[in-house]
Amino acid sequence: MPQKKEGEQGVAVTVRVVVLNHGEGLALPAYQTDDAAGLDLVAAVPEGKPVQIAPGARALVPTGLQIELPRGYEAQVRPRSGLALKHGVTCLNSPGTIDADYRGEVGVILANLGQEPFAVSRGDRIAQLVVAPVTRAVLRPVAALSTTRRGAGGFGSTKTKTALKAAKSPARAAAKAAPNRQSQKKVKAGATPRPKPPRKKAVKS
């Protein structure tokens, strides 16, 4: 893949598109800004018949498109941040992966995590499509893996407040270095502190 220079727009990848009958008249997915990573997908539901998604429910929304990606690439279906923030609507199986050899219609699984029903009308922008290169792996069986400080720790093993503790550590260190003021007796200005009486030794009988 050609390398792009700093400040230069990424190399374009040609994706072949078939518009199905129920997608006729809709705009093709498009980038909304010069540096946007995702193309906006629109809903190809019937005109005047929006798809209603109840709270806690999900629906497969058609896009009316079939795509052919070049070999070595995938397309990822991702949620739109505006729908997630304003309505609690997101994409399940996110990011959804479209392989280069898939030839079916692109569908978006929308889930309503909000508290109100959500209507999807024809032409609504419902998700983003990000085209990205794929790195294929070659698995090699081995007897053991290399050791790391983390080891098998996972599922929250690094805790959620590590960064907060790290941020407070200088203050904690300063607090530990400072004398314990509560244990010191206050001495009035100009007054002579009273000497402590000697401790009496216990006498064995």
Name the token pair of 60.
């497969």
Number of Cβ within 10 Å of residue 64's Cβ equals 22
User: CB-based contacts of 103: which residues, under 8 Å, 6+ apart?
Assistant: 66, 68
Does 180 carry a binding-site annotation? no
- DSSP character at residue 26: S
Does 82 carry a binding-site annotation? yes
Number of Cβ within 10 Å of residue 120's Cβ equals 21
Q: Measure the CA–CA gap between 137 and 128, rounded to whole angstroms.
A: 26
Does 121 carry a binding-site annotation? no
Does 93 carry a binding-site annotation? yes
Q: Measure the CA–CA gap between 67 and 23, rounded to whole angstroms.
A: 13
Please report, for residues 153, 166, 168, the alpha-carbon distance to residue 163 in angstroms, rounded to integers and kept in the order given: 18, 5, 9
Name the token pair of 85.
């923030």
Does 99 carry a binding-site annotation? yes
Question: Distance between alpha carbon 193 and the CA centroid of its chain, in Å?
Answer: 62
Does 7 carry a binding-site annotation? no
Question: Distance between alpha carbon 126 and the CA centroid of its chain, in Å?
Answer: 18
Does 80 carry a binding-site annotation? yes
Residue numbers in the known binding site are 80-82, 93, 97-99
Residue numbers in the known binding site for substrate are 80-82, 93, 97-99
